[in-house]
Structure formats: C-alpha cells, structure tokens
Structure 1
C-alpha cells in the first residue's frame, strides 16, 4: 500500500489580518495537480491551519509597548502590530467554512485557554500546540480536555519537555501527533537533524510522527517523507515578497504546487519491499537485453561452438546462462554474422 502523507498548509499570520487573503491561501492549499507525463491526478493538501491568540495573555506590558519599526510592522508598537494581525472568532469561522467548501480539514493553533472561544462557532478537526507552548501545562490541559486530536511541535523541546507534555495530554486522551520541528526561521540545514524523525518513530510508536518545516525550499520535507514522516506542515503565502515576517520563509504558489506534486509522486514510488521485474519494463527488457548471436557466418549443418557466439540485442533469444541449450546443437538453416540464434534454427 502506498504511504499517504497528511499535508498541512500553514496560513499562520501570512493573511496579514485579512480574511480574504487567508481564503486565497486556502485556494492554494486546495489545488489538485495533474502530473503531465503520466497524467496522475494528484491529491492536494489535506488541511490548512490558522493561529488564534488572545493578546491579553500574549505579551508583557513592556513587550506590548515596545516601539516596533521593522519593515514588516503593522503597528507603531509591537502590541499594535500583533493586534493588527489578529482575526476575530467569526473571521476564523468564516475561513473554516471556506476551507470545508474546498474539501480541506481545518486546524487551529490556540495560544491561550481563552482562545477556545472559537469552539462556540465551529469544531476544528485538530488542535495544534505551538512549540513555545509545549511547557504551558494549563494550556495543554485546556486543549486536551476538549477531546479533539492534538498535534505537538517539538521546535523548542527536548525529551523531558515532550514527555511532560504527553503525560499531561494523556490524562484526557492519546490521539496525539508529534512533529519534529526546529524553531529557527528559516532553519539552517545544519540544524534540521531529520534523524529525529527516526528517533521519534522508534521511541514513541503509539503516536503519529511528522515534520514541521521551516527550511527554504522543498527538499527537506521530501526527505522527511522518505524517512517515514506521516505529516508535513509548511507555511504558505501568495507572494514571498509580501510584507510580513513569515512570508519570505514560506512557499509561494508555485513552490507549494511543486512540494505537493513531488510528495504525492514520492508516495506512489514507495511500492513494496521486494525485488521483481515490473510489467512496465517488459518491452524495454526485450528490446535492450542481450541474446546469444553469431559472430560469423554459420551454414546449415554446422555444429555451434562457444567461439561462434557473442551477445547482441534484442533480448528475445537465448541468454548467456542458457549457452548449454545451443552449444553442440546442429543448425538447420544458414545464419549470417551478427544475428540472434532462435530455437527454430536448431535441429
């Protein structure tokens, strides 16, 4: 059976405070792709993810009042910047409905227990706990108590932090996925350590294991899938040059399509653990493999000797391992040099 990877397109704050922009990113995630060479219709992404914050539980007074004069700022202070990027519960619901129309699951990263207010309007398919909140035990309890499936990112966690988080959630349920992650934006390849995926699969076999990627490009998530990651999460944007701190490290429209295409084709490529001749190569095998052939003119009545033979294509005659079937046999017809010897040429 082919491996199926659950692909999450993270909208995050790349909507820049606009529900309409968020819907356009949903459109990117929902696109199916046709492989032009073999005409495979490839499944698009499986889900999109939004982040919900409560600014009353987000920043210290000093942090909120800090002047924020970055080119990516949406406000005079950092608090004003964060407020400008926040969508209301109703706007989250609106985007949820739009994603559902497109056949996508909808995942919410909730950053405070109070953010569970969105559940008054809709029920996300899964809840996500951001890397920074893996040690936020009150939040873990509040989210786990809903009974909804939970995805954890390990971007700021070692084994102790992960185990503590799992123990807390397991007080309520064990429908948990663990995403290897490095909270460096973008992530230096030297720091990715994809072998953590193998570690997680070996040491936490009861959970689904995946990878949340912050590298540039698509090579790393592809490699993660090849190592057994069952979930891939990647930031999406409409334009990597747009204003916003996460835009440059996200996948644009073309990049998103390439990643989905290549992961879906990779899934088709895994096959089964066996060595066999695939039916698709039979014609090529006949055309290109070598058969025993004459290296000189041989007349009818000649007895075939080893020194009369060499190997030529096509491969529809006797193989080298079948020499014993023709050496010492008498020809019933004349054969010119460099022709395949077939069974009906022999007495």
Structure 2
C-alpha cells in the first residue's frame, strides 16, 4: 500500500493551531460513497525544522523581503516568523500520534537534531537542496532513523554520494523522484524517472514528491509503482504564503487519497480472468444461441435456424455443435434462447 505523506511545511503560517487543523484534515476517514467503502486515510504529516544560524548568509538574512507573502521586513524576519521551536514541533508530533498518523520531520541543519531530545520522528526527510550536504546526511544517518531522500536537485552522482554516506550506518532508505520547481510544469515532471529509479536502485523504496497543481501526477506515479507519495497540504489555497497556491486544500486532499486507495485496489494481478463480480452483467448482456424461427417439437435445428441474442445464460456460438443437428423436444418460439432442456 502506498505510504502517503502530507507536507505541512510552512503552510502553518507560524501557527501550531493551523498545523493541528491540517492534521485533523489528514486524519479524517476516507469514505467512497459510490461503493460504501471505508478507505485508508493519509499515513503521515511532515514538518520542516530549520536552524536559522545555519540557514543563509548574513546578507541574505538581511535582504529586504517585501511582498504579499512576507511575514517580516527582511527574509530573516520572515523565516523566523515561520519557524516552530522544538517544543512546538513536539506538540504537533504528539497531536499527530493522538490521531494515529505518522510524523515525518525534515531537519535542515545539524543544529536541528536537538529536536530528537524531545521525540523520535517515524522518518527523517532530506530536502532536495541538502542531498549534497554530506555532513548533515552523516549526522542524520547516525540516528539510525529511516531516511527519505528527495532528488529534486540531484543527478545520479549526487544521489550515489548521498547513499554512500548513509549506508555506512543503515540501509532503511527511500528515494523520491522530485522536481524542485514550484509549481512544476507538467512537461518537466518526467515520471519515467520513477521507473529508472526502481530499476537502478532495487534495494530501496521508490516514490514521488509532487509539486504540480492537482492530483493527476501523484495518481500516475502510483500506477507506475511509487511506494511513497508526498504532497503539500493547506487549509485554503488562498491563504497568505508562497506554498499555499501550489498545495492541496481540503477537498483535494480527500480526492487524492480516495483515488490513490481506489487505484491500489484496481491494480490486481498479471493475468486475465473473469471476475466473480461480472457474473450478473455477463448473464444479462452476453449473447446466447437463440432461434431465428419458430420450432415445433421434433424439428431438427440447423445452423441457418440460429442467431445470437441476450441474455447470456445459454449456449455460446463456440458450443453450437451441441445444438446443430439436434431435435427440439419442446416448441421453441422465434427469438427465444435455446436451452439444454429444449433439445434431445
């Protein structure tokens, strides 16, 4: 079953209450009304932890940041406003656990590992930009917590270097195909990378971190064998913030999870067979051998005397040798199905 991660990221806008509301949305039951079926909801939520002292150069932190999405006069003030402290991360973690949802944490600097004094996330996520931050990768790997790598800014060399570092400590690693374009244009998605990753890294779980608008590409990724899907979430795509417009809101979250779970049920097995569930439709709609004229008891049936009509509970055309040349033991009306009790 696909492991679905809802990325809260910075869409909490600095509010623990908003983060908890997103957890509430994620944990809601997924009910397919058409077939009256309860489906598994999203598996996890994800937050991102930054250490601003290890984040940007001093000049970038002082850079004027004046736009409709700004939460501060400088970029540093903006980032500080959106940053939860360790205790706030722990509060959201506990709330997710109360709702029986896994908690994934992106740690963007070695200093962020202080959070592990309070709790242990179910998984650690490495942001695309940090795949080449080998000191950070080593510090994360030393924790032995399962790691998810995002490849949004990486090629094979960068990915292999990251794996070489982490596998010194453990091999519980997942790799997500990703394109670090926000939002990602569809011609840049290149979902076939998923197949390439599965073929070239068969020892790891392969998935897809999506930055497109909508739910079509995550569904396609699941159909191509993705074992993990990650998608940005929000309460309202009109909210202030740079990631809100490219995220899934409440209805979109429901539809994506519902459709992924139904897609999983649809995959089946590599074979062709008649499902038990089609028995009623087959009997109603398939065709059977029928009389194309009135028969009297004792008449001999020839191939010119038969054709095909519904329902499908009689002889098939491939079985016509069991009818042709036989004698009618009952009167058979024109355009009625010929059954076994009608012939000798």
Which TM-score applies when normalising by structure 2? 0.99
Q: Which residue in the other structure is 2:63 paired with?
A: 66
Note if 1:82 corresponds to 2:114: no
Task: Kindly state the Cα deviation for residue 231 of structure 1 after the two structures are TM-superposed.
Answer: 0.2
- CA distance in 1 between counterparts of 2:47 and 2:162 reads 22
Task: Kindly state the Cα deviation for residue 251 of structure 1 after the two structures are TM-superposed.
Answer: 0.2
> Match of 2:194, SS?
helix
Q: Alpha-carbon deviations, 1:139-184, whole Å to 9, x = none?
A: 0011001111000000000000000000011111111000000000
> 1:143-292 maps to which residues of 2 (within 5 A)?
143-292=140-289
The partner residue of 1:140 within 133, 137, 142 is: 137
What residue ranges of structure 1 are gaps of 5+ in the alignment? none
Note if 1:13 corresponds to 2:6: no
- CA distance in 2 between counterparts of 1:180 and 1:273 reads 26
Q: Alpha-carbon deviations, 1:192-234, whole Å to 9, x = none?
A: 0000000000000011000000000000000000000000000
- CA distance in 1 between counterparts of 2:160 and 2:302 reads 73
The partner residue of 1:300 within 267, 281, 297 is: 297
Q: Which residue in the other structure is 2:52 paired with?
A: 55
Task: Kindly state the Cα deviation for residue 290 of structure 1 after the two structures are TM-superposed.
Answer: 0.8
> Match of 1:116, SS?
helix
Q: Which residue in the other structure is 1:24 paired with?
A: 21
Note if 1:128 corresponds to 2:125: yes
- CA distance in 2 between counterparts of 1:158 and 1:333 reads 77
What residue ranges of structure 2 are gaps of 5+ in the alignment? none
Q: Which residue in the other structure is 2:100 paired with?
A: 103
Q: Which residue in the other structure is 1:321 paired with?
A: 318
Which TM-score applies when normalising by structure 1? 0.98
> Match of 2:284, SS?
helix
> Match of 1:12, SS?
coil
Task: Kindly state the Cα deviation for residue 61 of structure 1 after the two structures are TM-superposed.
Answer: 1.1
- CA distance in 2 between counterparts of 1:97 and 1:320 reads 65
Task: Kindly state the Cα deviation for residue 342 of structure 1 after the two structures are TM-superposed.
Answer: 1.1
- CA distance in 1 between counterparts of 2:122 and 2:289 reads 63
